[in-house]
Structure 1
Amino acid sequence: MHSITSNPCFYLLGICRNIDSLKKIHGLLIVHGFTGELLCDTKLVSLYGSFGYVGNARLVFDKMESPDFYSWKVMIRWYFLNDLYSEIIRFYTCLRKCVREFDNVVFSIVLKACCELRYIDEGKKVHCEIVKVGSPDSFVLTALVDMYAKCGEVESSREVFDEILDRNVVSWTSMIVGYVQNDCPEEGLVLFNRMREGLVEGNQFTAGSLVTACTKLGALHQGKWVHGYVIKNGIELNSFLVTALLDMYVKCGDVRDARSVFNELSAIDLVSWTAMIVGYTQRGNPSEALKLFMDEKCVEILPNSVTAASVLSACAQLGNLNLGRSVHGLGIKLGLGDPTVRNALIDMYAKCHLIRDARYIFETVVFKDVITWNSIISGYSQVGSVYEAIELFHQMRSDSISPDAVTLVSVLSACASLSALGVGSSLHAFSIKEGLLSSSVYVGTALLNFYAKCGDVKSARIVFDGMAEKNPITWSAMIGGYGMQGDGSGSLALFSDMLKKNLEPNEVIFTTILSACSHTGMIGEGWRCFNLMCQDYNFVPSMKHYACMVDLLARAGRLEEALDFIENMPVQPEVSLFGSFLHGCGLHGRFDLGEVAIRKMLELRPNDACYYVLMCNLYASDGRWSQVNQVRELMKQRRLRKSPARSLVEMDISDDFSFAKVASLR
């Protein structure tokens, strides 16, 4: 190399292309004494920062004898570009002691750091400095708007926003985002209208925030208008906007339009893919969620924890154990072991009736939250293991985890399945003590359903009358409670009260009231409710509604009328309808019509052995043994076998057990 005869700092530093060459040249400059000059050192700071070596940049800066304001700006800028927000705050504190000169660039950077760290007090100090210096531009004021909004002081944010004279799309959007993030979606939409009146059009982030506002309001119509605005103005879909649109359509119940947005994407990424899977799972369409997860177009995308948890939830809903296990294995391979995935695994294994596997996962969770406990308690409740569910509830409280509404609903469901009145009553007292009964309609509904199934309709009605909020499930549970105890008049009276309050019954409530009429022999009232459903509320009867009507007529011995009803249905009858009809035939000794019912059932399911067994039993009851032998011979020819019977013995829950496990709840 030629001897260095003059300061070659800028020439040598100008040819640096990577960190290795920079370090070599830096060492060369030190050896030959060409460092220590302000411009040279500032250039070194800038280059180290550009290669991502911010620590090295700071070492060079700290050795500078008298850095000027430009040098300070270079250093703080590299902290900003590397998202080192805490370092920005510390560096700014030093800057204030050493330099009296400030400009809008530095203020904007420091405000961004305060915003990201939620340092509202430091942000207010910077605001005071800005006022002292004077003449802040729109960028600084917009940074102040953003800082106050993200720190939760939306009113202060609006005060600063109103000071901005030359508002652009960034300043308008910052204020709109601030309103939406602080749960003021209406104000965000109003401000957008003012923005358009000022002839300023939105960008991707404006539109994404507006869509989020519509999601929070459940305003599907307005959300579709914003989507149309995006298309009309040629706003390109970025990840933020796509996710907001998918989330809005899903949460507003329009999964079809959500899928349309997804299908229009030129490139499917993890965020949009996951959002669509979550949407299908949450809106009760797990099959589509799994189809999308397995779609070959998405095979290159690796799932994250949210994706895995949603897919596991879909597997749980469908009882798809094989795919659930595959996702479990994939999660292990990808290191997806956070609580969200573990909770979903517990729920999936429990719903697939592998409670031991669910319990194993549960025991591996170190820090169990309320969702973890709820998943395993719900699992035991679903398989009827009330003892284990109560024991886990007891352990949960011992671990200082406060039960929530979901916990109580699961435990009450288990108690109801075994008519454990003492345990459930203790949970009732606990729910009152903890304020869960008054705050959750689901706890109230679970309680009245529990009392009704235990035969204590009076207590169920007390819970019902004490509920400030009632949803359709609540009304259905109470109406059904009367029906289960043979009080059809009580069911009809409550149904009438519901109509008088101008509350519209849904399909489930009509199923419940028709079932109550069926079990109490109220034929006229049953027909009236069926016609009310079809004519006044324009519901298309489901197979459950038809089955209730067949059961109503068959139980009352009006078998010809029931058969005529089935044959004149506008849809193909299912086997369950003929099962209800057959039950009525057995009650009233009509073997002739019973034979018709079984033959219809065999037409629908010719390879189901249980219906051949039913026919054998029918012929045997009527003493027609030759026909019995013919049916058995036919079963042999078709290689059909009767499934072995199973019996369920209900264990008695002693008073000692009830007291021992739940005394501490009182």
Structure 2
Amino acid sequence: MKLLGRLQRCGLRIQKSRLHWRSFFTDTTFEQQLKTLDMDRTIASVHSISSNPCFSLLGLCKTIGCLKKIHGLLIVHGLTDDLLCQTKFVSLYGFFGDIKCARSVFDQIREPDLYSWKVMIRWYFLNDSYPELLRLYTRMRQCLKENDNVVFSVVLKACSELHELDEGRKLHCQIVKVGNPDSFVLTGLVDMYAKCGEIGCSRAVFEEISDRNVVSWTSMIVGYVQNDCPQEALVLFNRMRQGMIDANQVTMGSLLTACTKLGALYQGKWVHGFIIKEGIIMNPFLVSALLNMYVKCGMISDARATFDELPMVDLVSWTTMIVGYTQRNLLDEALKLFTDKKWASLLPNSVTVASILSACGQSGNSNLGRSVHGIGIKLGLEDGPVRNGLIDMYAKCHMIRDAHYIFQTVSDKDVIAWNSMITGYSQNGSAYEALILFHQMRLDFITPDAVTVVGILSACACMGALHLGCSLHAYAIKEGFLLSNVRLGTALLNFYAKCGDAGSARKVFDGMEEKNTVTWSAMMGGYGMHGDASESLALFSEMLNENMEPNEVIFTSILSACSHTGMVGEGWRYFDSMCQEYQVVPSMKHYVCMVDLLARAGRIEEALAFIEAMPVQPDASVFGALLHGCRLHSRLDLGELGVKNMLELQPDSAGYYVLISNFYASDGRWNKVNEVRELMKHKGLSKSPGCSLLEMDNGNRFSALRVASLP
């Protein structure tokens, strides 16, 4: 140190190499190094920036603050015009993540060479700043005629990520013009065309690659999978094996995804065996693809067996298994896996939380749902899927106020958030609120999708809002929602049926290209509501002719139709067929339908015998059906039995108290009516007032005429 100072004070020229300066500065702190230098004398004594000790310090900078101090010193002494110096600063600013400063320094370079351009392009690429990268490359083309394969590869990646097909085509022309592209550039073209949806062009470029490696083959396979050509991906893999090319993890993960899309369980199992045979290490991507393949192919037990055999379970595999259980409606298994202490060390991410919230909502587990809500807040997981999952969970757990509160706290509501809230209102009997929210959604310029239309049609069906429902029908046709959306078609025919237009419902039904059991059930139920049981039964026969297996929902619709039309013999026949021929275990809804069928027909004793023979404990709805029949046929003696059981099973249901009150009123037993109403007051129960809804302004407004309940 003293020797250096003496040399400087004597005005001697310092010709030390950068290596010397680096070794000199290594043993002291950065601040001490700056203080040691007599900047004016030292900088004045150097011939070039490369011999400047400050420039030597750049390689020792540990923070961006240190870098900026050196940069400032060089600016003060006018030593930043050197191309090497400026490019070095571009590189270092990029290294410290300050792309803005890197670009600012780059823009000050008067005549950047190819290396300088590549440095700036590289930092845009590494920071996923693809739009800026393309703009910079356009400027480079204007300033520089040189190009190389590294630049081409990086710019092609930007075109791929941005799906900039036009820019990609222009770049392809430049590559052909320059000539001699290497395999990396050609593989980049394969990837770019595939991600832009031009799978034919992608395959054409692939065939031009003479020295294909695993990356080239994998890019083409991935392209086929991404463009919904899974069969071609499997065929290409066979050709790859014939060329003795070893597959990697991305290759196998893509093949598993192809098997998933095809529902090809056998091929998926073969790929799994190939992975084990070749000793390919299972990374998170591959594990996720494997578990997802088994789940989507309906082999959830195989997925769980694979999961349990993993040497180490990570967040990705744990979440994939939870999502799989939820998608297969195995809600208890999903919740059990989430709450198992064995995985307590794994912190859930947004996907995990959103999936568990869905499971909680579908199973009605509001307590766990609230706990998951708290976990999400604690971990800072409050993105769109989580917030939408919270709205959906609270709505399905009949906590509509909590759902509305979450909805109100979302500042940037997307269409999924609106759909969750609208559907929540519809499912909780708040049809009017659903329509009000839909109106607000349109005022906020949110474009409704098919899910929105389904939710609003449900509300329209409850309110009899025929004009609005017809408008939604027209909107769905215009947007092409009805082409392959079974759920929307079912909601539409259900809407027409509940609004009394069975003819329009049948037209929608006949126009649907694809139908599921819910669709058939909705149409049968629609005929049943209109007292046309013969059409319901004819439709049931038509369904059987199309080799569709009836389920419990179908039989509920059929039994209900028989009940509404007094077809006791047919009702018994279908009930016996359900139990014996189709092995469907009767649910409480089926028992209610049968009791209602018998009681409506005046066969009260037979209905009572049916209740006594039930293999399960009847609930209040069964006795409610019995009581309704007793009132219709003035069988007040047996009606008392229904009253007794209803009060024991559902002591807090206002609807059942009203039914009991009407039962006594039909016999003129007003003292009993008063007793029931006093009991309701004592329990704090009240019947919601009925209302009639009038469509006004062509369905844009509704007027509710409420009928006050009797005291």
TM-score normalised to structure 2 length: 0.73
- Whether 1:149 aligns to 2:201 is no
* Structure 2 gap ranges (5+): 5-12, 57-83, 665-681, 704-711
| SS in structure 2 at match of 1:135 | coil
Deviation (angstroms), 1:203: 1.5
- CA gap of 1:319–1:102, structure 2 versus 1, over 3 A, is same
Which of 424, 430, 449 is residue 385 of structure 1 equivalent to?
430
Q: How far does the alpha carbon of each residue in 1:296-345 deviate from its partner, in whole angstroms, 9 at most, with x for none?
A: 34434433333333333233223333333333344344443333333223
| SS in structure 1 at match of 2:692 | coil
Deviation (angstroms), 1:563: 8.2
- Whether 1:276 aligns to 2:321 is yes
Match of 2:225 in 1: 180
Q: Which moved more, 1:153-162 or 1:140-149?
A: 140-149
Q: Which moved more, 1:387-396 or 1:93-102?
A: 93-102
For the residues of structure 2 that align with 1:81 and 1:10, how far apart are their CA atoms? 30
> Retained in 2: the 8 A contact 1:346–1:376?
yes
Q: How far does the alpha carbon of each residue in 1:141-168 deviate from its partner, in whole angstroms, 9 at most, with x for none?
A: 2222222222333222211110112222
| SS in structure 2 at match of 1:384 | coil
For the residues of structure 1 that align with 2:319 and 2:109, how far apart are their CA atoms? 50
AA aligned opposite 2:473: S
> Retained in 2: the 8 A contact 1:585–1:591?
no
> Retained in 2: the 8 A contact 1:554–1:584?
yes
Deviation (angstroms), 1:655: 5.3
| SS in structure 2 at match of 1:652 | strand
Match of 2:537 in 1: 492
Which of 681, 686, 689 is residue 649 of structure 1 equivalent to?
689
Which of 460, 468, 474 is residue 426 of structure 1 equivalent to?
468
For the residues of structure 1 that align with 2:31 and 2:220, how far apart are their CA atoms? 43
For the residues of structure 2 that align with 1:156 and 1:598, how far apart are their CA atoms? 75
- Whether 1:196 aligns to 2:241 is yes
| SS in structure 1 at match of 2:691 | coil
Deviation (angstroms), 1:175: 0.5
Match of 1:208 in 2: 253
Deviation (angstroms), 1:98: 7.5
Match of 2:291 in 1: 246
> Retained in 1: the 8 A contact 2:222–2:233?
yes
| SS in structure 2 at match of 1:448 | helix
> Retained in 2: the 8 A contact 1:559–1:581?
no
AA aligned opposite 1:653: L
- Whether 1:127 aligns to 2:164 is no
Match of 2:18 in 1: 9
> Retained in 2: the 8 A contact 1:377–1:393?
yes
Q: How far does the alpha carbon of each residue in 1:470-504 deviate from its partner, in whole angstroms, 9 at most, with x for none?
A: 33212111112222343322211121222234444
- CA gap of 1:565–1:586, structure 2 versus 1, over 3 A, is closer
- Whether 1:324 aligns to 2:324 is no
Match of 2:387 in 1: 342
For the residues of structure 1 that align with 2:349 and 2:27, how far apart are their CA atoms? 34
For the residues of structure 1 that align with 2:43 and 2:226, how far apart are their CA atoms? 52
Deviation (angstroms), 1:537: 4.7
* Structure 1 gap ranges (5+): 622-641
Q: Which moved more, 1:443-452 or 1:184-193?
A: 443-452
AA aligned opposite 2:46: G
Q: Which moved more, 1:195-204 or 1:435-444?
A: 435-444
AA aligned opposite 1:276: M
> Retained in 1: the 8 A contact 2:468–2:700?
no
Match of 1:631 in 2: none
Count of matched residue pairs: 631
Deviation (angstroms), 1:69: 6.4
> Retained in 1: the 8 A contact 2:422–2:438?
yes
- CA gap of 1:551–1:35, structure 2 versus 1, over 3 A, is farther
Q: How far does the alpha carbon of each residue in 1:385-435 deviate from its partner, in whole angstroms, 9 at most, with x for none?
A: 232222222222233323333333323323434xx33x1343123322452
Q: CA RMSD in A?
A: 4.8
- Whether 1:223 aligns to 2:265 is no
Deviation (angstroms), 1:459: 4.5
Q: Which moved more, 1:548-557 or 1:381-390?
A: 548-557
- CA gap of 1:16–1:296, structure 2 versus 1, over 3 A, is farther
For the residues of structure 2 that align with 1:287 and 1:158, how far apart are their CA atoms? 46
Match of 1:626 in 2: none
> Retained in 2: the 8 A contact 1:394–1:662?
no
- Whether 1:136 aligns to 2:181 is yes
Q: Which moved more, 1:235-244 or 1:312-321?
A: 312-321
- CA gap of 1:20–1:559, structure 2 versus 1, over 3 A, is farther
For the residues of structure 1 that align with 2:23 and 2:171, how far apart are their CA atoms? 36
> Retained in 2: the 8 A contact 1:391–1:661?
no
- CA gap of 1:446–1:578, structure 2 versus 1, over 3 A, is closer
> Retained in 2: the 8 A contact 1:484–1:516?
yes
| SS in structure 2 at match of 1:653 | strand
- CA gap of 1:30–1:192, structure 2 versus 1, over 3 A, is farther
For the residues of structure 2 that align with 1:57 and 1:276, how far apart are their CA atoms? 44
> Retained in 2: the 8 A contact 1:426–1:662?
no
TM-score normalised to structure 1 length: 0.77
- CA gap of 1:460–1:138, structure 2 versus 1, over 3 A, is closer
| SS in structure 2 at match of 1:651 | strand
- CA gap of 1:568–1:235, structure 2 versus 1, over 3 A, is farther
Match of 1:33 in 2: 46
Q: How far does the alpha carbon of each residue in 1:161-208 deviate from its partner, in whole angstroms, 9 at most, with x for none?
A: 101122222111010111112232222222112212323242210111
Deviation (angstroms), 1:100: 6.4
> Retained in 1: the 8 A contact 2:563–2:596?
yes
For the residues of structure 1 that align with 2:116 and 2:699, how far apart are their CA atoms? 75
AA aligned opposite 1:486: G
For the residues of structure 2 that align with 1:291 and 1:165, how far apart are their CA atoms? 53
- CA gap of 1:538–1:228, structure 2 versus 1, over 3 A, is farther
